[in-house]
Chains A and B, each alone.
Chain A
Amino acid sequence: MSLGVKLAMIFLTMVFVDNYVLVQFLGICPFLGVSKKLNSAVGMSVAVIFVMVLATAVTFPLYVYLLEPNGLAYLNTIAFILIIATLVQLVETVLKKFIPSLYKALGVYLPLITTNCAILGVTLLNIDNITENGYGFLESVVCAAGAGVGFMLAMVLFAGVRQRLEEANPPKPFEGLPITLVSASMVSLSFMSFGGIIEAIFNG
């Protein structure tokens, strides 16, 4: 299998089959909290994609070249969360100073991202992927991008569902969050049908 095909497969698998929000349950807080309106859902997702790719690009070499060879692999959780926190702060400062228009669009979402489990999750899962699936730097970054795009797809789809929910009239106890979760279950159900489809496309 050529590298390009492998990368495309990783990307599509992360978006559809192993979707972070709907299948792996990572990043549920923003999925429920920021998906009421389409434009905030998109803003949050773009910030997440950006930080996910950046965080993976930094933590992967750190683990492979610094922690692992020195027998410090057990420190990965603590090292990664500190890197993510610093990185988010750095991105915020840089955007504010140099690209104020982008900061205006994404700035609101950045402080929420440090404690978003999808970000720490993607960096930690990519480390597991080194031994399990033989991922290198490029595969890891593509995997992170796929995870981010999958997050965006789930957010955007669900923003549409929620706009319909506003006008729905569920039984009293279901009003608010319960009916939102039940409809998330339906959206998740539709993603179940992607299972196996990516392998089938690429392997014929």
Chain B
Amino acid sequence: MGKFSVFSKGLLKENPVLKLVLGTCPTLAVTTLAFNGIGMGLAATFVLICSNMLISALRKVIPNQVRIPAFITVIAAFVTIVQMLVKVLLPALDEALGVFLPLITVNCIILGRAEMFASKNPVLDSALDGLGMGLGFTLALTVMASVREILGAGTLTLLPGVTFQIIPQSVDPFGIMITPPGGFFIFGVTMALVIYLEGRKGRKIKLEASCSSCPAAAGCPGACEGCDGKGGE
């Protein structure tokens, strides 16, 4: 696999949110404002690149039996750094993301990439994989957040203070789109759109909240239906 495809597969082909169905909690929770989506995505990208690189560098040192706790510790350390940086540099974002900033620690995308990629590949490839997956996550969040904000508030906020009025103020915004039910709805419709577009290209894909890329799959005896407990479907 070429270096470029290691990077680019995360953007669309294996988009963590829309294809692998990972990181659903932040995808639903923070996408009420376009800027929150961008901020959350970039914070997770930073953690993903750093943790992928460190885990890849330590992959021969970490004993196999305790690798999950070791990965979590590495990830939590980088999340703490991001938390401190965001608090100082972008207090408004810190306020908006709330508990979902520290919860990057248990974001399945990051632990999933550590388990599936970084623990088996060299440092540079892992960094590129982290960058691609992180930007794919950011892309999905930004698209979802833009749609929700435009429909729900009629505006588009790309940076704090930089807000565009997309739908004229005289039109009542479709307020429910920025509430929790709207989040579930837009996510469902976005996924249906992905399946539809793939179907038109002749590819049939089935999206499932699956354990195929779940970080807990290694120690999981098969709690989800249709799972054989071996990390496959």
Contact = CB atoms under 8 A, between A and B. Distances in A.
Contact of A37 (B80, B176, B214, B225): B225
Interface string B170-187: 000000100111111101
Interface stretch (A63-71, A133-141, A184-192): A184-192
A77 B215 CA distance: 19
Contact of A29 (B25, B68, B196): B25
B180 A192 contact: yes
B207 A178 contact: yes
A181 B215 contact: no
Contacts of B176: 189
Bin the interface of chain B by size. 35 or more
A176 B233 CA distance: 15
Interface in A115-136: 115-117, 120-121, 124-125, 128
Interface stretch (B51-59, B69-77, B156-164): B69-77
Interface string A27-44: 111001110110010001
Interface string B93-133: 00000010011011110010000000000000000000000
Given A77-B76, A120-B106, A179 B24 contact: no
Contact of B181 (A75, A121, A192): A192
Interface in A133-154: none
A75 B84 CA distance: 11
What is the predominant secondary structure among interface residues of chain A facing chain B?
helix
Nearest to A47: B223
B184 A188 contact: yes
A120 B108 CA distance: 13
Contacts of B105: 77-78, 81, 120
A28 B73 contact: no
A29 B22 CA distance: 8
B24 A173 contact: no
B220 A112 contact: yes
B166 interface: no
A77 B25 contact: no
Interface residues of A, number: 55
A186 B179 CA distance: 12
Interface string B220-233: 11111100000000
Contact of B184 (A109, A172, A185): A185
B135 interface: no
Contacts of A34: 223-225
A183 to B, nearest CB: 8
Given A77-B76, A192-B179, A24 B29 contact: yes
Contacts of B192: 171, 173-174, 178
A178 B219 contact: no
Interface in A7-56: 22-29, 32-34, 36-37, 40, 44
Interface of A: 22-29, 32-34, 36-37, 40, 44, 74-78, 81-82, 85, 107-109, 111-112, 114-117, 120-121, 124-125, 128, 171-182, 184-186, 188-189, 192
Interface of B: 21, 24-26, 28-29, 68-69, 72-73, 76-77, 79-80, 83-84, 99, 102-103, 105-108, 111, 176, 179-185, 187-189, 191-193, 195-196, 199, 206-211, 214-216, 219-225
